[in-house]
Amino acid sequence: MEKQSLPLTNTLYKNSLPKFLVLAGDGVNCESETAAAFLHAGGAAEIVHINRLLENPQQLSGYDGLALPGGFSFGDELGSGQLLALKIRAQLGDIFRDFTARKKPVIGICNGFQVLVRLGLLPFPDAPRAAALAVNNHGEFMNKWADLKTDSSSVCLWTKNMEDISLPVRHKEGRIVLTPGAEKDVYKMLVKNGQIPLRYTSDINGSYERIAALCDPSGLILGMMPHPEAFVFQATNKQRHHNPLEKGAGLQLFENILRYLKGAESDREGLQRHG
Protein backbone atom coordinates (compact mmCIF):
# COMPACT_ATOMS: atom_id res chain seq x y z
CA MET A 1 0.00 0.00 0.00
CA GLU A 2 1.47 3.32 -1.07
CA LYS A 3 1.92 6.14 1.39
CA GLN A 4 0.36 9.46 0.43
CA SER A 5 2.63 12.43 -0.17
CA LEU A 6 3.20 14.03 3.22
CA PRO A 7 4.06 17.75 3.45
CA LEU A 8 6.15 18.80 6.42
CA THR A 9 6.55 22.51 7.14
CA ASN A 10 8.32 24.23 10.01
CA THR A 11 5.69 26.57 11.43
CA LEU A 12 8.26 28.47 13.47
CA TYR A 13 9.30 30.34 10.32
CA LYS A 14 7.08 32.86 8.56
CA ASN A 15 8.97 33.20 5.30
CA SER A 16 9.17 30.63 2.54
CA LEU A 17 11.49 27.78 3.49
CA PRO A 18 13.79 25.71 1.32
CA LYS A 19 11.81 22.58 0.52
CA PHE A 20 13.17 19.10 -0.20
CA LEU A 21 11.47 16.27 -1.99
CA VAL A 22 12.16 13.10 -0.01
CA LEU A 23 11.68 10.06 -2.22
CA ALA A 24 9.78 7.05 -0.90
CA GLY A 25 8.51 3.69 -2.13
CA ASP A 26 9.88 0.45 -3.60
CA GLY A 27 11.56 -0.54 -0.35
CA VAL A 28 12.96 2.82 0.77
CA ASN A 29 12.32 2.93 4.52
CA CYS A 30 14.07 5.96 6.04
CA GLU A 31 11.95 8.67 4.43
CA SER A 32 10.19 9.78 7.62
CA GLU A 33 13.43 10.26 9.57
CA THR A 34 15.04 12.07 6.64
CA ALA A 35 12.10 14.43 6.18
CA ALA A 36 12.02 15.10 9.92
CA ALA A 37 15.71 16.00 9.86
CA PHE A 38 15.07 18.77 7.31
CA LEU A 39 12.16 19.97 9.43
CA HIS A 40 14.16 20.13 12.66
CA ALA A 41 17.01 21.85 10.82
CA GLY A 42 14.68 24.70 9.88
CA GLY A 43 13.44 23.69 6.46
CA ALA A 44 10.51 21.95 4.84
CA ALA A 45 10.13 18.56 3.20
CA GLU A 46 7.58 16.50 1.37
CA ILE A 47 7.63 12.72 1.22
CA VAL A 48 6.68 11.68 -2.31
CA HIS A 49 6.22 8.10 -3.50
CA ILE A 50 8.21 7.47 -6.64
CA ASN A 51 5.08 6.37 -8.50
CA ARG A 52 3.49 9.75 -7.80
CA LEU A 53 6.63 11.39 -9.15
CA LEU A 54 6.42 9.25 -12.27
CA GLU A 55 2.84 10.45 -12.80
CA ASN A 56 3.98 14.06 -12.69
CA PRO A 57 7.76 14.29 -13.20
CA GLN A 58 7.69 18.08 -13.62
CA GLN A 59 6.76 18.49 -9.96
CA LEU A 60 10.41 17.89 -9.07
CA SER A 61 11.33 21.31 -10.47
CA GLY A 62 9.23 22.92 -7.74
CA TYR A 63 11.57 21.74 -4.99
CA ASP A 64 14.82 23.29 -3.80
CA GLY A 65 16.52 19.97 -3.15
CA LEU A 66 16.18 16.20 -3.37
CA ALA A 67 16.85 13.44 -0.84
CA LEU A 68 17.17 9.73 -1.62
CA PRO A 69 16.89 8.02 1.79
CA GLY A 70 18.21 4.73 2.99
CA GLY A 71 16.43 1.39 2.85
CA PHE A 72 16.40 -1.73 0.72
CA SER A 73 14.88 -0.69 -2.59
CA PHE A 74 13.49 -3.71 -4.42
CA GLY A 75 14.95 -5.89 -1.67
CA ASP A 76 18.46 -5.23 -3.08
CA GLU A 77 17.70 -7.62 -5.93
CA LEU A 78 20.41 -7.50 -8.65
CA GLY A 79 22.50 -5.38 -6.29
CA SER A 80 21.80 -2.55 -3.86
CA GLY A 81 20.10 0.39 -5.57
CA GLN A 82 20.33 -1.19 -9.01
CA LEU A 83 16.65 -1.56 -9.88
CA LEU A 84 15.65 1.81 -8.42
CA ALA A 85 18.43 3.46 -10.39
CA LEU A 86 17.26 1.74 -13.58
CA LYS A 87 13.68 2.86 -12.92
CA ILE A 88 14.78 6.46 -12.37
CA ARG A 89 17.10 6.49 -15.38
CA ALA A 90 14.47 5.05 -17.70
CA GLN A 91 11.59 7.28 -16.66
CA LEU A 92 13.07 10.29 -14.90
CA GLY A 93 16.56 10.56 -16.34
CA ASP A 94 16.10 13.88 -18.15
CA ILE A 95 14.24 15.40 -15.20
CA PHE A 96 17.03 14.41 -12.79
CA ARG A 97 19.72 15.77 -15.11
CA ASP A 98 17.86 19.07 -15.43
CA PHE A 99 17.42 19.24 -11.66
CA THR A 100 21.13 18.82 -10.93
CA ALA A 101 22.08 21.15 -13.80
CA ARG A 102 20.17 23.88 -11.98
CA LYS A 103 22.63 23.49 -9.09
CA LYS A 104 20.08 22.19 -6.64
CA PRO A 105 21.43 20.08 -3.77
CA VAL A 106 20.94 16.32 -3.67
CA ILE A 107 21.73 13.83 -0.92
CA GLY A 108 21.73 10.05 -1.10
CA ILE A 109 22.02 8.18 2.19
CA CYS A 110 23.06 4.52 2.25
CA ASN A 111 20.77 2.94 -0.38
CA GLY A 112 20.30 6.45 -1.79
CA PHE A 113 24.08 6.75 -2.16
CA GLN A 114 24.11 3.47 -4.06
CA VAL A 115 21.42 4.83 -6.39
CA LEU A 116 23.33 8.07 -7.05
CA VAL A 117 26.47 6.13 -7.94
CA ARG A 118 24.57 3.78 -10.27
CA LEU A 119 22.92 6.80 -11.91
CA GLY A 120 26.38 8.20 -12.63
CA LEU A 121 25.82 11.37 -10.58
CA LEU A 122 28.75 10.47 -8.33
CA PRO A 123 31.59 10.98 -8.23
CA PHE A 124 31.94 12.64 -11.65
CA PRO A 125 28.66 13.55 -13.38
CA ASP A 126 28.71 13.33 -17.19
CA ALA A 127 31.77 11.07 -17.10
CA PRO A 128 32.30 7.29 -17.12
CA ARG A 129 31.53 5.70 -13.76
CA ALA A 130 34.58 5.77 -11.55
CA ALA A 131 33.20 4.27 -8.34
CA ALA A 132 30.89 1.55 -7.08
CA LEU A 133 29.62 0.19 -3.78
CA ALA A 134 30.48 -3.46 -3.24
CA VAL A 135 29.83 -6.03 -0.53
CA ASN A 136 31.73 -5.34 2.68
CA ASN A 137 35.05 -7.14 2.77
CA HIS A 138 33.86 -9.28 5.71
CA GLY A 139 30.71 -10.21 3.76
CA GLU A 140 28.34 -9.28 6.57
CA PHE A 141 25.59 -6.74 7.18
CA MET A 142 26.73 -4.08 9.65
CA ASN A 143 24.50 -2.33 12.17
CA LYS A 144 26.76 -0.26 14.41
CA TRP A 145 28.13 3.22 15.07
CA ALA A 146 31.15 4.37 13.10
CA ASP A 147 33.62 7.10 13.97
CA LEU A 148 34.15 9.51 11.07
CA LYS A 149 36.81 12.07 10.25
CA THR A 150 35.71 15.13 8.32
CA ASP A 151 37.91 16.85 5.74
CA SER A 152 37.93 20.63 6.25
CA SER A 153 39.30 21.10 2.72
CA SER A 154 36.36 19.32 1.08
CA VAL A 155 34.15 21.32 -1.29
CA CYS A 156 31.08 19.56 0.14
CA LEU A 157 28.50 22.14 1.24
CA TRP A 158 26.65 19.62 3.37
CA THR A 159 29.58 18.92 5.71
CA LYS A 160 31.01 22.43 5.90
CA ASN A 161 32.60 23.28 9.27
CA MET A 162 31.60 19.93 10.76
CA GLU A 163 33.82 18.34 13.38
CA ASP A 164 34.70 14.66 13.51
CA ILE A 165 31.54 12.72 14.33
CA SER A 166 30.07 9.30 14.99
CA LEU A 167 27.03 8.10 13.03
CA PRO A 168 25.14 4.83 12.65
CA VAL A 169 25.92 2.59 9.68
CA ARG A 170 23.52 -0.08 8.45
CA HIS A 171 24.62 -1.82 5.26
CA LYS A 172 26.07 -4.88 3.62
CA GLU A 173 27.07 -3.29 0.31
CA GLY A 174 28.89 -0.19 1.48
CA ARG A 175 32.49 -0.82 0.48
CA ILE A 176 33.58 1.93 -1.91
CA VAL A 177 35.69 0.69 -4.78
CA LEU A 178 37.22 2.77 -7.57
CA THR A 179 37.84 1.97 -11.23
CA PRO A 180 39.87 -1.28 -11.35
CA GLY A 181 43.38 -0.61 -12.60
CA ALA A 182 42.97 3.15 -12.22
CA GLU A 183 42.24 3.37 -8.49
CA LYS A 184 45.20 5.59 -7.71
CA ASP A 185 44.44 8.05 -10.51
CA VAL A 186 40.76 8.29 -9.57
CA TYR A 187 41.67 8.69 -5.91
CA LYS A 188 44.15 11.47 -6.67
CA MET A 189 41.48 13.31 -8.63
CA LEU A 190 38.98 12.95 -5.79
CA VAL A 191 41.50 14.31 -3.29
CA LYS A 192 42.53 17.13 -5.59
CA ASN A 193 38.90 18.16 -6.10
CA GLY A 194 38.05 17.90 -2.41
CA GLN A 195 35.38 15.27 -3.07
CA ILE A 196 35.94 13.06 0.00
CA PRO A 197 34.16 14.82 2.89
CA LEU A 198 34.06 11.86 5.29
CA ARG A 199 36.29 8.89 6.05
CA TYR A 200 36.03 6.11 8.59
CA THR A 201 38.68 6.43 11.29
CA SER A 202 39.24 2.67 11.07
CA ASP A 203 38.78 0.10 8.34
CA ILE A 204 35.27 -1.19 9.03
CA ASN A 205 34.34 -2.59 5.60
CA GLY A 206 37.32 -2.38 3.22
CA SER A 207 36.34 0.91 1.54
CA TYR A 208 39.19 2.34 -0.53
CA GLU A 209 41.23 4.59 1.77
CA ARG A 210 38.39 4.32 4.32
CA ILE A 211 36.07 6.54 2.22
CA ALA A 212 32.63 6.89 3.82
CA ALA A 213 31.15 9.59 1.56
CA LEU A 214 31.67 11.24 -1.82
CA CYS A 215 30.43 14.51 -3.28
CA ASP A 216 30.46 15.82 -6.82
CA PRO A 217 32.95 18.58 -7.83
CA SER A 218 30.37 21.28 -7.05
CA GLY A 219 29.88 20.07 -3.48
CA LEU A 220 26.10 20.06 -3.93
CA ILE A 221 25.55 16.34 -4.53
CA LEU A 222 26.48 14.18 -1.56
CA GLY A 223 26.37 10.42 -1.16
CA MET A 224 27.20 8.80 2.17
CA MET A 225 26.84 5.38 3.77
CA PRO A 226 26.43 6.57 7.41
CA HIS A 227 22.98 7.78 8.50
CA PRO A 228 22.94 11.43 9.69
CA GLU A 229 19.13 11.40 9.92
CA ALA A 230 19.47 8.78 12.65
CA PHE A 231 21.34 11.18 14.94
CA VAL A 232 19.29 14.38 14.89
CA PHE A 233 18.71 14.27 18.67
CA GLN A 234 20.84 12.96 21.51
CA ALA A 235 18.00 10.55 22.28
CA THR A 236 19.54 8.17 19.75
CA ASN A 237 23.12 8.61 20.95
CA LYS A 238 24.87 5.34 21.74
CA GLN A 239 26.01 7.00 24.99
CA ARG A 240 22.96 7.50 27.20
CA HIS A 241 24.20 10.24 29.55
CA HIS A 242 23.20 13.11 27.21
CA ASN A 243 20.05 15.22 27.37
CA PRO A 244 17.82 13.37 24.89
CA LEU A 245 16.41 16.62 23.46
CA GLU A 246 19.79 18.18 22.70
CA LYS A 247 20.90 18.40 19.10
CA GLY A 248 22.65 15.38 17.64
CA ALA A 249 25.73 15.70 15.46
CA GLY A 250 23.88 14.58 12.33
CA LEU A 251 21.61 17.62 12.35
CA GLN A 252 24.37 20.02 11.32
CA LEU A 253 24.61 18.39 7.91
CA PHE A 254 20.99 19.36 7.19
CA GLU A 255 21.42 22.80 8.77
CA ASN A 256 24.40 23.47 6.51
CA ILE A 257 22.57 22.88 3.25
CA LEU A 258 19.53 24.85 4.38
CA ARG A 259 21.79 27.74 5.38
CA TYR A 260 23.34 27.61 1.92
CA LEU A 261 19.92 27.66 0.23
CA LYS A 262 18.64 30.50 2.39
CA GLY A 263 21.80 32.47 1.63
CA ALA A 264 21.46 31.81 -2.09
CA GLU A 265 17.86 33.03 -1.98
CA SER A 266 18.92 36.20 -0.15
CA ASP A 267 21.58 36.82 -2.79
CA ARG A 268 19.00 36.43 -5.56
CA GLU A 269 16.60 38.82 -3.83
CA GLY A 270 19.40 41.36 -3.42
CA LEU A 271 20.27 41.18 -7.09
CA GLN A 272 16.61 41.68 -8.02
CA ARG A 273 16.31 44.74 -5.77
CA HIS A 274 19.45 46.33 -7.20
CA GLY A 275 19.09 45.06 -10.75
pLDDT attached to residue 176: 98
Mean of pLDDT values over 150-162: 97
Any domain includes 109: yes
DSSP secondary structure of 1-28:
-PPPPEEE--TT--S---EEEEEEBTTB
Helix (H) or strand (E) holding 121: none
Which residues are CB-contacts of 271 (< 8 A; sequence separation ≥ 6)?
Answer: none
Does residue 236 sit within a domain?
A: yes
> For residues 206-238, b (16+ Cβ closer than 10 Å) or e, as one string?
bbbebbbbbbbbebbbbbbbbbbbbbbbbebbe
At 272 the pLDDT is 42
Q: Are strands 6-8 and 19-24 parallel, antiparallel or unpaired?
A: unpaired
More confident call, 163 vs 1: 163
What are 13-45's pLDDT values in tens digits?
A: 335 899 999 999 888 999 999 999 999 999 999
255, part of any domain: yes
pLDDT in tens, 37-65: 999 999 999 999 999 999 999 999 999 99
**What pLDDT, on the 0 to 100 scale, is given for residue 264?**
74
Residues written for the chain: 275
| CATH code for the domain in which residue 37 is found | 3.40.50.880
Domain span including residue 192: 6-274
Pair type for strands 131-134 and 175-178: antiparallel
Inter-residue contact 238 to 166 (CB < 8 Å): yes
Write down the pTM of the prediction: 0.90
Give 202-214 pLDDT, tens digit per residue: 999 999 999 999 9
- Please state, rounded to an integer, the average pLDDT across all residues of the chain: 89
pLDDT of amino acid 242? 73
Q: Specify the number of domains making up the chain.
A: 1
Catalytic center residues: 110, 227, 229
Whether 1 maps to a domain, the answer reads no
93 in any annotated domain:
yes
Residue 77 banded pLDDT, cuts 50, 70, 90: low
- Evaluate whether residue 240 is within a structural domain: yes
| Within-domain flag for 49 | yes
Determine the Cα–Cα distance for residues 29 and 33; give it in Å rounded to an integer.
9
Dist. CA 131–CA 80, nearest whole Å: 14
